[in-house]
Structure 1
C-alpha cells in the first residue's frame, strides 16, 4: 500500500489552515511515518504536482489522501478522520469527526 498526502498552498503563499491542522495531528500521533509521499498543491502554480493530481482525480478539497492498494484499488479521502479510521485503523473521537463534518459542510447546521 502507498499513501500520498496532498497539502495546499494558498495564492498568497501561506499554507491552508486545515492542512496545517491535519499535519500537526499526524505529527503528534506519529501517523506521518505512514505517509509515503507528500505533494503540494500550490494554487499559484497549476503545474504543481498536487494541483495536477487533484485535477486528475477530480478532487476539489485539501488536504486529501490517496491510498493505492497492492491489488490495484485506489481510494481517495478528503476527510482526515475517515482516513484515520479506515486506513491507519486508529480510533477517533466522535466529537472531532462531527466537528470536521460541520467545518467541511457549513450548510449542515441550518434547519
Structure 2
C-alpha cells in the first residue's frame, strides 16, 4: 500500500488550517511514518504537483489522501476520520453513524477549497 497526502499551502507560505490540523493528528497518533509522500497544492504555483493530483481525481478540498493498494486499486479520502478508520487503523469503512465521522463531516465547511 502506498499513501499520498495532498495538502494546500496558502499564498503566505503557510499550510491551510485543516492541513495543519490533520498533520498534527497524524503526528499525535504516530501515523506520520505511514504516509509515503506529501504533495503540495501551492497557491503560489498553480502547476505544483498537488494541484495536478487534485485535478486528476476531481478533488476540490484539502487535505486529501490517495491510497494505492497493492492490487493497483486506488481510493481517495477527503474525510480524515474515514481515512483513519479504514486505512490507518484497518477497521474497514467507518459506520455512517460514527460520531467522529459525523463531526468531521459537519466541520467540512472548514476544509480549504483548492
Question: Which range, TM-score by smaller chain?
Answer: 0.7 to 0.9
Report the TM-score, using the length of structure 1 for normalisation. 0.86
Q: Which secondary structure does the structure 2 equivalent of 1:41 belong to?
A: strand
Gaps of 5+ in 1: 107-111
The structure whose residues are more often helix, as a share, is: 1
The whole-number CA distance in structure 1 between the counterparts of 2:109 and 2:16 is 17
Matches within 5 A, 1:1-111: 1-89=1-89, 94-105=98-109
User: Displacement of 1:31 after TM fit?
Assistant: 0.6
- Which gives a bigger RCO, structure 1 or 2 (Cα 8 Å, sep 6+)? 2
The whole-number CA distance in structure 2 between the counterparts of 1:12 and 1:105 is 21
User: Displacement of 1:103 after TM fit?
Assistant: 1.1
Report the TM-score, using the length of structure 2 for normalisation. 0.83
Gaps of 5+ in 2: none
User: Displacement of 1:95 after TM fit?
Assistant: 4.0
Aligned to 1:109: none
Question: In terms of mean alpha carbon deviation, does 94-103 or 3-12 score higher?
Answer: 94-103
